Structure 1
Amino acid sequence: MDKKKKPRSTRSLNWLAGALYVFCLVSISPTKAGSLADTSTLQRNLEVVAKGSDGRVGICAEQIKSGVITCVNGDQRFSLQSVMKLVVAAAVMDAIDRGQMRLEDVVTVRKNDLSLYVQPIADLVAERGEVKTTVADLISGAVIESDSAATDLLFARVGGAEGIRTFLKTKRISGLSVDRDEKHLQTEIVGLIWRPEYVDANVLEKAIKAVPSGRRDASFAAYLKDKRDTATPRGMVSFLSALATGKLLSAKSTAHLLKVMQETVTFPDRLKAGVPEGWTLGHKTGTSLTWRGVTAVTNDVGILTAPDGGTISVAVFVAESRRSSKERAKVIAATAKTITSSYR
């Protein structure tokens, strides 16, 4: 769940630009691109960044060409929250590669198809009664704007959790699990079970307020321990590196998804705030709710591209923190700054 809502717009993605971006990403010569040369120093510096936060912090950075990974708490599990939307999008692109659907396929979205919290498409549905969109636009909404309704529609189209498990297993991705769509995950966190009437935000809000505090406490505590819908930082950067190097998807689908990631608008104060001029970033953020002063997780994961074409996948998870949203964002931004500063 990402809580900053941005206006929805239909995008026409530039396939040629995306294809050229992927070509540079996977074909740059090691003699031309730099690297994270001193990984021991980077490790120490990342540990300092992590210690600057309360709760748990997990960080991994992988030099994509060499496969060298530097981590802090890289094998601990962290909740994905809206980062799962990127995994769902990748599974959809894989289904397109296998001829099971097309980007141009038309999808009709009605009120009973909606989800909860951030879902810009819901405004259009409320205005028009129904919206005809495409698979391509749902992918853009899910990744760029963190639209939960778009994500849940795509989640269902790829066969739900079982379809995503099959996708990850086939691609030999471990340390990463997507088990529920947004509406089921988010309602369970607050002590509810999803009901169709919760597509009405007012009905959902009243239901949440009616949950006894003891049940809210128990549900939140269970969520913090739940292994479902989680990833290790190591597993996440392995997924990102596989995507960047064309090991997950066809060249065309890789280009499309990487281009979409570069257009992400949510939380520019996280990784994006730590990226120096001349670098590019394709990423996906994730944010949980806060209960009794504790924010379960604040995330940002992505692919950094240096001016010389060198690439680094990075995953940052700030969990169980009592700090403000600005303070949590600073930890993530400091991670990006630390990684890019060590690139030579």
Structure 2
Amino acid sequence: MIRVLGLVFTFILAANTAEAGGLSDPEGLRAKLQAIASRHPGRVGVCAQDERSAPICVNGDQRFSLQSVMKAITAAAALDAVDRNAMKLEEPITVRRKDLSVYAQPIAEMVAKHGQFDTTIGDLIRRAVVQSDNAAVDNLVARLGGPEAVQAFLNRKGITNLRIDRDERHLQAETIGLAWKAEYADPKRFAEARQGVPKQARDAAYEAYRKDERDTATPKGMTSFLHALMTGRLLSPTSTRHLLDVMTQTATFPDRLRAGAAPGWTVAHKTGSSGTWNGIAAATNDVGILTAPDGGKVAIAAFVADSKAPSKDRAAAIAAAARAVTASYR
């Protein structure tokens, strides 16, 4: 039955692809994306790829910090485990105080209120992507077997130039000059430790993070992941539909890709952002799959790094890239 469904899905996909449009005038689109990148006071990398053609990129081979974009990748790894019968969406998971992460983690409120939070793998996937919940993704990473298991998934699927090296709590702690300790699962203890890091140490840690190749991707690498997802080569048909549906519900930063997509387009995406230190935002990202009114799909990865611009201008650069891409679709 699974093979039959897969064949049906492939047939439908092929039919839709044949009828749908694509990105026209690659050089013209590349010029528009280059103009967006050149105007911004920071590094900008963008790639876009329709279902049939080669990617169209600006700074496509440079490395950019993923930040919370890694949650979409971890969600895909979890769904791949479901496809392999190594995990189930309805599998129960209990999140306790010791399992919490840092910063944005709505789950922590439930744990603080009840002492624990009883949920499922499927709910953790949804929370990680839709709410960008750090506790949700860190528990998924742990259930999968650590960051190396997520990287192994990418390697098996032939996705290159995309690295997953740490979960959120280890990454975020190191970014501010701390080595993760179990006691930091208490938000108050983490906040106290963060306040105690000398500015010189914070400066050095942030500079090291900006140069670190761990937990980074090139726009080409990220787009290859998205292209594999949207063409049904990454996950089973059921898991592909599930992940795309979850990504359309993303609630964070609607002023990025969503703001730039043309009317009638559907946006399935995942955002990612670093903090700002000494006036520099190391990472402002949005990646996803744009679906045109005729059903055609375009993968897009937009990264803004080392920017001194305010958040609204960083978001505007990403929105402008989406606007240029959807305007180029014929």
Give the shorter-chain TM-score range: over 0.9
1:272-300 residue CA offsets vs partner (Å, 9 max, x unmatched):
00112111010000000111000001000
Matched, 1:231 2:217: yes
2:188 aligned to 196, 202, 207, which one? 202
Map Cα deviations across residues 124-149 of structure 1 (whole Å, 9 max, x no partner): 11111111100000000000000000
Letter of the aligned partner of 1:195 in structure 2? Answer: K
> Given that residues 10 and 232 in structure 2 are in contact (C-alpha distance below 8 angstroms), is that contact kept between their aligned partners in structure 1?
no
Paired amino acid for 2:24: A
- Any runs of at least 4 consecutive aligned residues in structure 1 with deviations exceeding 2 A, and if so which? 22-32
Q: Does the C-alpha gap of structure 1 residues 129 and 328 become closer, same or farther in structure 2, counting only changes over 3 Å?
A: same
For 1:339, the equivalent position in structure 2 comes to 325
Would you say 1:40 and 2:34 are equivalent positions? no
Q: What do residues 49-87 of structure 1 show as CA deviations (whole Å, max 9, x unaligned)?
A: 1112111000000012x1321000000000000000111
Q: Which residue of 1 aligns with 2:227?
A: 241
Offset of residue 246 of structure 1: 1.3
- Size of the aligned set, in residue pairs, is 323
Please give the alpha-carbon distance, in whole angstroms, between the structure 2 residues aligned to 1:35 and 1:255. Answer: 21
Give, in whole Å, the separation in 2 of the partners of 1:242 and 1:286: 20
* Alpha-carbon distance between aligned partners in 2 of 1:237 and 1:265, rounded to the nearest angstrom: 21
- 1:77 aligns to 2:63 (yes or no): yes
Q: Is the 8 A contact 1:25 1:309 kept in 2?
A: no
Aligned counterparts of 1:158 and 1:25: Cα–Cα separation in 2: 32
After superposition, the C-alpha distances for 1:159-198 in whole angstroms (9 at most, x for unaligned) are 1122112111110000100000000000000000111221
In the alignment, does 2:131 pair up with 1:137?
no
- Once residues 194 and 235 of structure 1 are traced to their aligned partners in structure 2, the CA distance between those partners, rounded to angstroms, is 29
One-letter identity of the residue aligned with 2:103: Y
Question: What is the CA–CA distance in structure 2 between the aligned matches of 1:140 and 1:147, rounded to whole Å?
Answer: 9
Unaligned runs of 5+ in 1: 1-18
The 3 A distance-change label for structure 1 pair 209 and 37 is: same
Q: Which amino acid aligns with 2:176?
A: V
Matching residue within 19, 24, 40 for 1:53 = 40
Aligned counterparts of 2:130 and 2:271: Cα–Cα separation in 1: 9
Supply the distance in 1 between the matched residues of 2:38 and 2:191 (Cα, whole angstroms): 36
Could you tell me which amino acid in structure 1 is paired with residue 48 of structure 2? A
1:294–1:321 Cα contact (<8 Å) kept: yes
What is the letter of the counterpart of residue 85 of structure 1? K
Tell me, in whole angstroms, the C-alpha distance in 2 between the residues paired with 1:277 and 1:255.
22
Counterpart position of 1:173 = 159
Percent identity for Structure 1 against Structure 2: 54
Shift in CA distance, 24/293, structure 1 to aligned 2, threshold 3 Å: farther
Question: What is the one-letter code of the residue matched to 2:137?
Answer: T
Q: Report the Cα distance in structure 1 between the residues aligned to 2:15 and 2:323, rounded to whole angstroms.
A: 23
1:249-277 CA distance string (max 9 Å, x none) = 11111111111001100000000001121
| Aligned with residue 299 of structure 1, among 271, 285, 300 | 285
Which range is displaced more, 193-202 or 76-85?
A: 193-202
Evaluate the alpha carbon distance shift between residue 40 and residue 122 of structure 1 in structure 2; reply closer, same or farther with a 3 A threshold. Answer: same
Following superposition, the deviation at residue 31 of structure 1 comes to 4.6
- What is the TM-score with the length of structure 1 in the denominator? 0.91
Q: Name 1:12's counterpart in structure 2.
A: none
C-alpha deviation, 1:23, in angstroms: 7.2
- Structure 2 length as normaliser, TM-score? 0.95
The answer (yes or no) to whether the contact 1:270–1:333 under 8 Å persists in 2 is yes
Q: Which amino acid aligns with 2:46?
A: I
Change in CA separation of 1:23 and 1:133 when aligned onto 2, cut-off 3 Å: farther
1:321-340 to 2 correspondence within 5 Å? 321-340=307-326
- When the two chains are superposed, the root-mean-square deviation of aligned CA atoms in Å is 1.4
Matching of residue 212 in structure 1 with residue 198 in structure 2: yes
Contact 2:46–2:219, Cα closer than 8 Å, also in 1: yes
1:26 is the counterpart of 2:13? yes
